[in-house]
Each structure stands twice: as C-alpha cells, then as structure tokens.
Structure 1
Amino acid sequence: MILNKILLLPMSLMLSMAGCASFGPNATYNMGTTSFNYSLDYTSYMVKLNGHEIGAGFGGGMSTEPVKIGPQVITWEESASDKIHKAKNQVIITKAQLKGKKYLAVHLYPDDTVEITTSNNWPDPTEKGMKWMHELKKAK
C-alpha cells in the first residue's frame, strides 16, 4: 500500500503541474493589456484581441485579459464613426514572448498594421509609432 502511494506521488505531482502551466497550442496567459493608436485622424476604442476588449487611451487604460499563444485577430473601432478596422498583417504570439511578462501592448499604426510588445513594466509607445506620429504632425 505504501509502495503504491510512493509510485503515485510523482505521477500526481506531474499532472498537477501540467494543469497549472501553459502547454499546447491553446496556452493562455492572463496579462495586463493596453493599446497605442498612432493615427492622428481618429481616436480608437473597442480595441479587441481575439474578441476580448483590451485597454486603450495611448497606454493610459489597462485591463487584464486572456492572451493566447498563436495567431491573433486584432480589431478596433473609430470613436467618431462606425468604421471597424482589422489588422492587415498577421500577428503571431509565441510562448517566449509571454513567458514571465506582465503586460502586453497592441500598437495600431496608421496603415492598419499592428505590432505586439510585451514587458514587465508599464508599456511604452514604440519608436516606430512615435516617429510616424511626428511625421504626420509635420505634414499637417
């Protein structure tokens, strides 16, 4: 009887660890999420990552949402119209990008492409996005 318990203990520990870890193609991480919109033409809202609304306000709004590994569907709306945008590029999130990270930011560029960044500190705008905004302001 004791021998059975000794043999079952390592197996039960392995199974319980597997239940807590993120494995497989549907691994999900709960993270602080936000977004940055670099377009000067509209304010974005209802930014969604795989159907889950994430924070906005140029990184000022944060929410905790489930983030899955793999291909992402990213959409957002314009605040002053009914226009819905969908990312033109395919974004794929890897386990390496999420492992040990606390925050995920979706960066919405004026050409409807997006970029994902992860960090352990509050997310910052990207250099690419800030340069783009600066160029758009100069052109006006």
Structure 2
Amino acid sequence: MSLKKFLLLPISLAFSAAGCAGIGPNATYYMGTTSVNYNPSYNTYDVKLNNHIIGGALGSMNTSPVILGLQNVTWKDAKTGELHTAKNQVFLKKNDVKDMKYLVVHLYPDDTIEIITSLNWPNPTEKGLKWQERIKKNGAK
C-alpha cells in the first residue's frame, strides 16, 4: 500500500463515520413524523416537510427524513386543493432532533407553524391550546 493510500484511509473512514452519525450541515435524521391542523374550516392533506410527505390527516404518522436548518413546510386544503406555505421560518438544530423519536408540525389558522420534537409521544403546544380555546369561544357565539 502506498503512503498516500495509507494516509487517506483514516481520513475517508472519519468522513464516512461522521455522515452516519449525523454530523455536519446536511445531517439527516429519520423520525416518526405527523402534523396537527388547528384550522377547523378544512382538513389538510399532503403535509410536506422539505418536500417529503409526513403524516397528519386522520391521525396518520410516517417515518420521514428530517434535515437540520431551515424547514420548508407546505400543506393542502382538502376542500379546495389550495396550497398553503408556512408564513414563519423554523430552524432545526442538532440539539432539537438528537435522541428524539417524534417530530410534529403544528399548523395554525394564520398559516404559521411550530415544529416540536420529543422522545415520547408529543403533547399539544401552548400556542395550539390557545388556538383551540379561541375557536371554541368563536364557535359558541
């Protein structure tokens, strides 16, 4: 074995190990994914996280690739087919997904989102509970 090959072997092994461990800006994690729609005026379908369909409609869940960085979230209105895009920006960092099993995208009536990760089954968000209360008050009138 030449000296060049001998020196390159540990370097290439280190880089391949880093990719498997989820190190770097393009790290991908596979998680249980779903979404929660807080808008009672329509049901969602084709909820996508970075162009990958995640679960959501009627309680479904998928296993989806989750990348670090800016998240692109879109979904469609089941009545009209209208495409919605998140109005706010959500960034995921390594600490947000490391050792987590689940990722839930919360879709709010104003087309903003929250992305929550958890080790155990996810719980409602504070913002989601406020939307539910607001919807109940407006529906009671």
Alignment coverage as a number of residue pairs: 135
Deviation at 1:19, TM superposition (A): 3.6
Point out where structure 2 has 5 or more consecutive residues left out of the alignment: 2-6
| In structure 2, distance between residues paired with 1:11 and 1:87 | 41
Report the CA distance shift for 1:23/1:39 in structure 2 as closer, same or farther (over 3 A). same
Deviation at 1:17, TM superposition (A): 2.6
| Identity %, equivalent residues | 58
Deviation at 1:127, TM superposition (A): 2.3
Amino acid at match of 2:127: K
| In structure 2, distance between residues paired with 1:95 and 1:103 | 14
Deviation at 1:93, TM superposition (A): 0.7
| In structure 2, distance between residues paired with 1:47 and 1:15 | 33
| In structure 2, distance between residues paired with 1:19 and 1:70 | 16
Which residue is equivalent to 2:4? Answer: none
Point out where structure 1 has 5 or more consecutive residues left out of the alignment: 2-6
Amino acid at match of 1:139: N
Secondary structure of 1:77's partner? Answer: strand
Which residue is equivalent to 1:37? Answer: 37
Deviation at 1:12, TM superposition (A): 7.0
After superposition, what is the alpha-carbon deviation per residue over 1:7-28, rounded to whole angstroms, capped at 9, x for unaligned?
9997676445324211221111
Following TM superposition, where does structure 1 have runs of at least 4 consecutive aligned residues deviating by more than 3 angstroms?
Answer: 7-16
Q: How does 1:1-140 map to 2 (within 5 A)?
A: 14-57=14-57, 60-140=59-139
Secondary structure of 1:45's partner? Answer: strand
Secondary structure of 1:133's partner? Answer: helix
Deviation at 1:40, TM superposition (A): 1.1
After superposition, what is the alpha-carbon deviation per residue over 1:93-120, rounded to whole angstroms, capped at 9, x for unaligned?
1111001101000000110000000001
CA contact (8 A) 2:76 2:83 kept: yes
| In structure 2, distance between residues paired with 1:11 and 1:77 | 45
- Say which structure, 1 or 2, has more relative contact order (CA 8 Å, 6+ apart): 1
Q: TM-score when scaled to structure 2?
A: 0.85
CA contact (8 A) 1:106 1:115 kept: yes
Deviation at 1:43, TM superposition (A): 0.9
